[in-house]
Amino acid sequence: MQLHFKQLGHGEPLVLLHGLFGSADNWFGVAPKLAEKFHVLIPDLRNHGHSPHHAEMDYPLMAADVEKFFAAQKIESAHVVGHSMGGKVAMQFALDFPARVKKLVVVDMAPRAYKRAHDHIFEALLELDLATFQTRPQIEAALAPKIPSLNLRRFLLKNLGRMEDGKLVWKMNLRGVAENYSRLGEVLNAGRPFAGPTLFIRGGKSNYLTATDEPEIRRLFPAAQIQVIPAAGHWVHADSPEEFLRLALDFL
For residue 191, the model assigns a pLDDT of 84
Q: Is 0.95 topped by the overall pTM?
A: yes
For residue 121, the model assigns a pLDDT of 97
User: At CA 29, angle to CA 243 and CA 8, rounded to 5?
Assistant: 115
For the chain, the structural domain boundaries read: 5-114+185-251, 119-174
3-state DSSP of 128-179:
CCHHHCCCHHHHHHHHCCCCCCHHHHHHHHHHEEECCCCCEEECCCHHHHHH
In CATH, the number for domain 5-114+185-251 is: 3.40.50.1820
Phi-psi group of 130: left, alpha or beta (phi > 0 → left; psi -120 to 50 → alpha; rest → beta): alpha
| b/e map 63-96, b = 16+ CB within 10 Å | bbbbeebbeebebebbbbbbbbbbbbbbbbbbbb
Asked if 37 contacts 64 with a C-beta cutoff of 8 angstroms, the reply is no
**Element of type H or E holding 106:** strand 101-107
- Exposure of 220 in the CB half-sphere (CA atoms within 13 A): 25
CA atoms of 87 and 220, how far apart (whole Å): 14
The edge-to-edge listing of strands for the beta sheet with 5-8 is 5-8, 38-43, 12-17, 78-83, 101-107, 198-203, 224-229
For residue 189, the model assigns a pLDDT of 83
What averages of pLDDT result for each successive group of 10 residues across the chain (252 residues)?
97 98 96 98 98 97 98 98 98 98 98 96 96 94 96 95 92 97 94 96 97 96 98 96 98 98
